[in-house]
Chain A
Amino acid sequence: MNNELKQQVSELLDNELASPAAFDLLQKARHNPEITSTLNRYAAISQAIKSDAFILADNDFSARIARQIEQEPLYLLPQRKQPSLRRYQWPAMAASLAAVLVLAAHGLDKINTPETNASLQLAQKATPEPTKQAAANSEQTEQPLNARIYDYLQAHNNSVYTSGESDFKPLVKVTSYANRR
C-alpha cells in the first residue's frame, strides 16, 4: 500500500481527513483488505499508546454486521431526501468499526471523554455524504413515497395549503408497506 494511502488512513483516524476523501478511502477499503487491515492496525496502535487496556475485534466483525443488516427486512419508510442506507452501509460500518476499536478500552462509562467524542465525530463524519451522482441515481430508482403523496395531494385538493405542510415536509408520519397475498 502506498504511503499516500497510509497517510490518509492516519488522518482518518485523527479526524483530519476531509469528508470527500474520507468517503473515497472507505469506498476503497470495501474492496481492499489491505486498507482495512492498516486501519485496524493504526487504530490499535493509537489505542495502545493511550491506554494499557485494549480489545481487538475479530477481523470479520464488520463483515458479520453487514451480513446481519443484509438479512433484515427492507422497510419502505419515507425518507427526507436521504440516500438509501444500504448503499453506504459497508463504508459506514468500516468507520464505525474504527470508532469501536478506539472506544473499546474506554468502556461505556467513559464515553464522554474528549477522545471518545472525537471518535464519535469521526464515525459520524465518516458516514459518507452522497455524491450528486449517487443522489441522482437514488432518486431515479426510488421516488420518495412522501414526495409522490404530496404531489398527489396537491393535485387532489387544497388541503396541502391549510395543513402547514406546503413547505414540503412529509405529510405521512408513519408508513408501512403491506405485502398482502
Chain B
Amino acid sequence: MADPLGQSNPISAQITGKQALQKMAKALHNLNYQGTVAFLRNGKLEPMKYFHASHNGLEQERLLSLNSPLREIVREHGKISCLYKQTQQRKVDSRPLDRSFLVDLPETIDELDDTYAINIVGEENIAMLPAYVITLRPKDALRYGRTLWVEKQHFLPLQAIVYGPADETLEQLVFTDFSVQESLPFVDSQAGNPSPLANNPAPLPLTEANFIINNLPAGFHELFFTRRLMHNEARPVDHMLLSDGLAWISVYMEYKKLPPMPTATAEPKIVPAVGAINFFSRPLGDYEFTVMGDAPRATVETIAQGIQLRNSQ
C-alpha cells in the first residue's frame, strides 16, 4: 500500500470501520481461535504459536515460542505466567488490567471518535483468509496510526501495524496461519516451579497517587493507579496507566535515593524508543518520574512535563 493509513477515500463496504472494530472487540474475547503469529518489534522477529480459549465468560490466551528461549506464556484471570521450558521455572506476574497479546481496543469504539478517523480502505488476504483493511488515522500528532487487517467472517485480527510519524513501521504482528475452532482447552498454568509472585498490585484510587498530571494530551485519561515493587527495591514504585483507547502510557514515580548522575543533575533523560514505545525521565523533588508508552516522544514528554507532586499544590 502506497499510503499505509489510507489517506485515499475509504471503500464502500457493507459495514463501517467502527462497526468492524466493535465486532472485533467482542470476537477477541468470545471466540476460540489459534494460529501461528509473528511479532516484529525493535528489528526482531518472534514467531509464536497462539491459542485463545473462551468458555462461559472465562478466557485464556497462550503463546508458545518457536525460537529460543523456549517458553510458554499464559494470560488469564488478571495474571501472566511464563514457563521456561528448559529450566521449568515459571514466573508469574499480576496484571490488574487484562490486555491481549494481539490488539487492545477500548470497551466502546466511540471513545476513539475525537482522536482517530476509522475507515475500511480495502480488502486483502492474510493467511489465505479475506480480510478488511481498517485504518485508524490519528487526528493529531499526539498518537500513532494503526492499520488492522480484520478477517471478514469472524472479525478477528490477522495483522496489525503501528506506524510512526513518517509512516514507518514501528511494530507489527501477522498471522501466517489461522483458524477458528468450536472450542479449545484451557491449559494448566500452574505447572513448573513457580517463582514467588513478585508483584500483586491491586488497583488503588487515583487520589492516592502522590502526583497529578496537568494538561493531559487530548483523548488521554487515567485508567488505573497502583503501587508495585520493582528493581528488587523495598520501597514501592507508584505506577499510573493512561490511555486514549489505543495508546497506553505508563507513569512511574520512584524515590531517588542515589546521588544525581554527575553529568546531568536535574536534566531530563531521553532513552531511544523500544519498538513503538518512547521514554522520558525527569527528576522532581526527591523523586524520579519515568513516562513511557506507544506514543510519539513529544506526547510522552508533554505528559512528563505536566507532572506535579500532589503535596506541592
**Chain A positions near chain B (C-beta within 8 angstroms):** 73-74, 76, 140-143, 145, 147-149, 151-159, 161-167, 171-181
User: Is B274 an interface residue when CB atoms closer than 8 A count as contact?
Assistant: yes
Chain B interface size band reads 35 or more
| A159 engages B277 (CB within 8 Å) | yes
Contact indicator B248/A164 (Cβ below 8 Å): no
Indicate if B164 sits at the interface (CB-CB under 8 A): no
Subset of 12 A-B contacts with CB under 8 Å: A141-B258, A147-B231, A152-B250, A155-B230, A159-B275, A163-B41, A164-B67, A167-B84, A171-B274, A173-B42, A175-B272, A179-B263
Instruction: Answer whether A73 and B69 are a contact pair too, CB < 8 Å, given A152-B250, A163-B39, A178-B270.
Output: no
Q: Could you give, for residues 274-296 of chain B, a 1 whenever the CB lies within 8 Å of some chain A CB and a 0 otherwise?
A: 11010100000000001011000
A65–chain B nearest beta-carbon distance, Å: 21
B73 touches A161 (CB 8 A): yes
Q: A149-B279, A153-B274 are in contact. Are A166 and B267 (CB under 8 A)?
A: no
| Contact, CB under 8 Å: A178 / B268 | yes
* Complex CA–CA separation, A171 to B241 (angstroms): 21
Residue contact B271 to A156, C-beta cutoff 8 Å: no
B258 touching A142 by the CB < 8 A rule? yes
Interface centre among A141, A161, A180 (most CB of B within 10 A): A161
Q: Which residue of A lies closest to B69 (CB)?
A: A167
Known: A73-B263, A153-B277, A155-B239. A166 touches B39 (CB 8 A): no
Q: Is the CB of B63 within 8 A of A162?
A: yes
CB–CB A158/B231 < 8 A:
no
* 6 residue pairs, one from A and one from B, having the closest CB atoms: A178-B270, A156-B250, A179-B264, A162-B39, A161-B73, A164-B46
Query: Is A154 a contact of B93 with CB atoms below 8 Å?
Result: yes
The answer to whether B272 and A152 have CB atoms under 8 Å apart is no
B133 at the interface (CB under 8 A from A): no
B26 within 8 A of A: no
Chain B, range 52-103, C-beta contacts under 8 Å to A: 63, 65, 67, 69, 71, 73, 75, 80, 82, 84, 93, 99, 101
- The CA of A140 and the CA of B46, in the complex, are separated in Å by 34
Partner of A149, one of B241, B264, B271: B271
The chain B residue with its CB closest to the CB of A165 is: B44
Partner of B248, one of A73, A156, A163, A173: A156
Question: How far, in whole Å, are A178 and B278 apart by their CA atoms in the complex?
Answer: 14
Least CB distance from A176 to B in Å reads 7
Given A151-B231, A159-B41, decide whether A145 and B271 contact each other with a Cβ distance below 8 A. Answer: yes
B272 A174 Cβ-Cβ under 8 A:
yes
B31 located at the interface, meaning its Cβ lies under 8 Å from any Cβ of chain A in the complex: no
Query: What is the bound-complex CA distance between A162 and B263, given in angstroms?
Result: 35
Q: A155-B199, A163-B42, A173-B42 are in contact. List 15 more A-B contacts (CB 8 A).
A: A74-B263, A141-B259, A148-B230, A149-B271, A156-B241, A156-B292, A158-B80, A161-B80, A163-B275, A164-B69, A176-B270, A178-B269, A180-B267, A180-B270, A181-B267
Q: Which of B44, B84, B231, B259 contacts A164 (CB 8 A)?
A: B44
Report Cα–Cα, A142/B257, bound state, in Å: 11
Question: Is B252 in contact with chain A by the CB < 8 A criterion?
Answer: yes
- In the docked arrangement, what's the CA distance between A104 and B241, Å? 60
> Smallest CB–CB gap between A108 and chain B, Å?
36
How far apart are the CA atoms of A179 and B266 in the complex, in Å? 9
In this complex, the member of B42, B258, B259 whose beta carbon has the largest number of chain A beta carbons within 10 angstroms is B42
> Hey, what's the 0/1 contact readout for B175-190 against A, CB within 8 Å counting as 1?
0000000000000000
Q: Is the CB of A74 within 8 A of B262?
A: yes
When distances are taken between beta carbons in the complex, the residues of chain A under 8 Å from B71 are 161, 166
Judge whether B261 is part of the interface by a CB distance below 8 angstroms.
yes
